[in-house]
Structures are given as structure tokens and as C-alpha cells.
Structure 1
Amino acid sequence: MSEEDVVQYLQNTPGFFERNPALLEELTIPHPVHGGAISLLERQVSLLRKSTAEYRGEFERLVSIARENEAIMKKSRRLILKCLSGDSLDDFAGVVEEVMREDFAVNYMSMVLFTEQPLDTSVRMASWESAEPIIKEMLAQSGCYCGVLSVAESEFLFQSQSDSVMSSAIMPLVSFEGGQVVYHGVLALGSNRLNHFDKEKGSLFLDYLSDLLSALLLRLLP
């Protein structure tokens, strides 16, 4: 009888080892690490332990992500409620800076509003015409930008702190009018760590925050 015949027989007779359990204890296979012989049962137990450890590791990773997301949502809720309690652009900018620094541990932050007319605020202002040539490529993609800025972009957004900013997240503050995107400003977050804001990490939460802050800002603009 060939090995193929044995394999075929066992495949066609799934209850064979149930009727002959003692045989399982006599079968041996090479140990996957040191090469010595172990029983088939020992090998199965080893595989089960490995699978259990992998599942436990994946479960713990998912729990960690869920806790992190819950913490982010609680911080976002605080930000939204505090912004709603203010009635001026200065209140809005002050709350955003406070929450970003205290809750999200952001090293550097800059908010720039695009306007052609003076506003009653201490928030930095610039015309869209002057800002567009510098940041248009960064804003050309949909959603928020994460990564390293060019020298010109960093100097425009962070000014005197630009040399300390190693990575950034740029959130556009926009509205949609007649099917077109209208830029009312940007919120720039900076880190002194190179990979703190990374494109590979995704920007789903930042996009969500950008939409919320845009809506909150619009209620305060003339």
C-alpha cells in the first residue's frame, strides 16, 4: 500500500481515529523547533496554543484600538461643546488651541482665516490669493493632508516655529457653495516628531474633525 493509498483512505474515513484513539498516541512527527519526535497529539496541542496566542494578541490589539477611538471621541465631544459655547472667532480659536494642546498633546498649532475684509478677531488672516500659490498643492487632495511640509508651506503656516515642525496635519476649513469648495481657512497642527503625522496612518479622524470645525467656524463668519 502506498502513501497515497493511506492518505486517500484516511480522507474517505474521517472517523478512523475516533474508533482507534490509542493509535494517535503512538504516531510521532518531527518537532517543529528542535527536530525531536513528538506525538501527533502533542503537535496538535502546540498548534492550538499558538492559534490561541495569536487570537488573544489580535483581540488585545482590537480592544486597544477601540479604547483609543473612544478616548478620541470623548475629546472631540469636549471640543465641539466648548466651541458651541463661544460666540466669537477669538473664542473659537482659543478653545481649539486649548483642546489641541491639552487633550491631543499637539506641539504646534496655527489657524489662518482667508478673507478679503477685516474681521473683528485676533486670529491671523490672509487673502486666499496670497495663500493659494503656497498651499494649493497640499490642499489639492481631498480631505486633510498629513506628512512633511515644504519650506514655503511650513513658513507660511507656522511662521517663526517652522524650523521646529517635523510633521504636520493640515485641516481645511471649508464650505460648499454651488458645488464648489470655498476655503475659509486652515488649521495646521505640527509635531516635533518626524512620523507623528503620517500619510500611512490615515486621516479619517482628521477629516471628521475638519468637517466639524468647518461647520462651527461658518456660524461665526459674517
Structure 2
Amino acid sequence: MSRGIDGITEDDIAQYLSLNPAFFERHAELLAEVRLASPHGTRAISLQERQALLLRERIKGLEGRLMEMIRHGQENTAIADRLHRWTRAVMLARDPRTLPALLVEELKSQFLVPQAALRLWGVDAALAHEPFVLAEPGAVREFADALALPLCGLNTGEVEAAQWLHDGTPALSIACIPLRSEQAGGSFGLLMLGSPDATRFESDMGVDFLVRIGDIAAAALSQLLPR
């Protein structure tokens, strides 16, 4: 800390100016006389010019944050609209036998998911031979029961259910969403999402939205369970 005349420090001057905001009103000529280095070059600029530059930079930063907030708001609105359309389509389904396929196709369409599939178990006996029913869930059921939340990440081949996504294009990243119901006493299905893009479903991505997808899907599909 540098000291000036009679031991006055820079902090003393700064404190004096902060406590006497009218100082520069009484000495307005100083604003034009004080010269500072420009942050954008070697030339000297007045204190007023420096303040104007700082304000412009601050305004530019605020404008950037505002545009980012608007963009996020628009994205959230678009997602909410897609979720609404998907939920509505699922709720309007009348045939339990076609509901799983409709749910999956609408999910792919509304959210632009390249690959999706689901399997159920423990369903009503009248549906036991439908293609979406897994007669012997075994390890798949154990896997779904162990998921406290949806699981996302690279498809390393360790998740057996990833095979459901095979459509001629490898799924490089996957999301595993357990379907649960109090009526079933636990998991009664697994919804799988996949993409040939390895970064679509990353292991560190938020899963709140996938939880909602799973809750809605499970609520709709629970009508296929025994009464």
C-alpha cells in the first residue's frame, strides 16, 4: 500500500471519496483532467471515458445474460409443449394393446429421440403374449428395481435391455427409465431411449425430466396390470 503526503494512503483517499460523493460535483474539472490507461490500447483516456467504457461492458454482459435467460425460457416452453402433446396422446389412447407402441412412437416423434423401446412384465394374463411383454424379466427386472433414478451414459454393452433398441443403427448412448407402480409393488417395466450420438444421453446430465417421463408412462401403462 503506497503512502502519500503526511502518511495518507490510497485507502484513505478511496474512503474519503466514498464518504463524500459530492466531491466531483464540487470539482468537476478533475473528471476531465484525470487520465487513465485505456483497456483497449495504450492511449490515455479521461476518467469519464473509462467509466463510460466500464458501463458499456457491464451493459453488454447484462444483455448477454438476458438473451441467455430468454433462450432458456424459450427452450423450456418448447419442452413443456412437447410434454403436453405427448401426455395428451397417451391419455387419449383407448386400446391397452396398442398403448405401449403408441407411447414409444409419440415419445420418439415429440422429443426427436432416434431410438426407443419398452418392455413390461407382470401384466394382465390377457396380454401375456403381446410383443411388449417380457415373460421372464429376470436380470432386467433386477436392474430396473436397482435404479433409484433413470440411468444415462454410453452404451458399453453391459445393459441387456439396450438390445431392444437395435434398429440397424448402433445406440452409442442410452437412457434407462424404470417404470414403477404401487399396484405392482415395484418395477413392472423398463423404458429405454437411445441415440447414435454418444453425447445425447451423458452420464452427468440431469434426469429430472426423464423422471417425469417415467412417472407419466408408468401411470398410463399401469392399466395393463392385473386388477
Given the two structures, how large is their TM-score scaled by the length of structure 1?
0.85
State the Cα distance separating 1:221 from its structure 2 match.
2.2
**Contact 1:101–1:107 (CA<8 Å) still a contact in 2?**
yes
* Matching residue of 1:89: 96
Give the number of aligned pairs. 217
Change (3 A) 1:21 1:176: farther
The answer as to 2:159 corresponding to 1:153 is yes
State the Cα distance separating 1:181 from its structure 2 match.
5.8
* Matching residue of 1:11: 18
Pick the structure with greater CA Rg: 2
Structure 1: 5+ residue stretches without partners: none
**Contact 1:115–1:184 (CA<8 Å) still a contact in 2?**
yes
- The within-5 A match list for 1:1-222 is 1=5, 2-4=8-10, 5-115=12-122, 119=128, 121-132=130-141, 135=143, 140-153=146-159, 156-158=162-164, 160-161=166-167, 164-176=170-182, 182-222=186-226
Show CA shifts across 1:17-46 (max 9, x none): 122222111111111232321111111111
Show CA shifts across 1:164-220 (max 9, x none): 11111111110136xx96111011010111111123331111111111111111123
Given the two structures, how large is their TM-score scaled by the length of structure 2?
0.83
Structure 2: 5+ residue stretches without partners: none
Aligned-pair identity in percent equals 27
Change (3 A) 1:92 1:19: farther
Show CA shifts across 1:90-149 (max 9, x none): 32222222222222111111111123855253314243324245x35xx63422111123
Please provide the CA RMSD for this pair.
2.5
- Please give the secondary structure, in 1, of the residue aligned with 2:224: coil
Show CA shifts across 1:67-97 (max 9, x none): 1111111111111111122233332222222
Q: Hey, what's the Cα distance between the residues in 2 that align with 1:210 and 1:181?
A: 16
Change (3 A) 1:159 1:69: closer
